Amino acid sequence: MIGSIGPGILVFIGIGRNDTHEDASRLAAKASSLRIFEDDKGRMNLPLVAVEGEMMVVPQFTLMADTSGGNRPGFEEAAPRGPAKLLDEQFTTSLRSLGVPVKTGEFGADMEVSLVNDGPVTILLES
């Protein structure tokens, strides 16, 4: 096992050819401050740090799949491995600098990921 978290947020991160370090930092700030956890009135109103949650960041280049041309996905818009790894590291470094406890998957590895989705809340953030 590479890592696990308790209550918190599972982030699948897909990095595109045109993504920048600024994008990674901005998305880390956004992800860490999303008010998606329930307050005492049952409303989605609290960010991750307010509920002392953790974040699991899993690199997932297949999120960049283009399926517009048929049934076989194309990955031309995915960033090459080297730049993508640097931006993945920038994202997690930015999260940690914001006080978010972060665990990560292994970049480029074939991983099995399990999730218990309490909600369900699934949100797409784009740069």
| 40 falls within a domain | yes
* CB 45, CB 92: distance < 8 Å: no
| 3 falls within a domain | no
26 Cβ neighbours under 8 A, 6+ residues apart = 127
CATH of the domain at 67: 3.50.80.10
Q: Is the pLDDT of residue 119 over 80?
A: no
| 36 falls within a domain | yes
| 84 falls within a domain | yes
Give me the catalytic one of 12, 20, 37, 62: 62
Asked if residue 7 has a cis previous peptide bond (ω within 30° of 0), the answer is: no
* CB 77, CB 27: distance < 8 Å: no
CA atoms of 69 and 61, how far apart (whole Å): 18
**94-106 residue pLDDT tens:** 999 999 999 998 8
**7-29 residue pLDDT tens:** 999 999 999 999 999 999 999 99
**59-68 residue pLDDT tens:** 999 999 999 9
| 23 falls within a domain | yes
The domain containing residue 46 runs over which residues? 8-104
Angle at 90 between CA 46 and CA 33, to 5 degrees: 10
Known catalytic residue: 20?
Answer: no
| 97 falls within a domain | yes
Give me the catalytic one of 37, 61, 90, 92: 61
| 110 falls within a domain | no
Number of domains composing the chain: 1
| 124 falls within a domain | no
Give me the catalytic one of 12, 20, 37, 60: 60
Known catalytic residue: 61?
Answer: yes
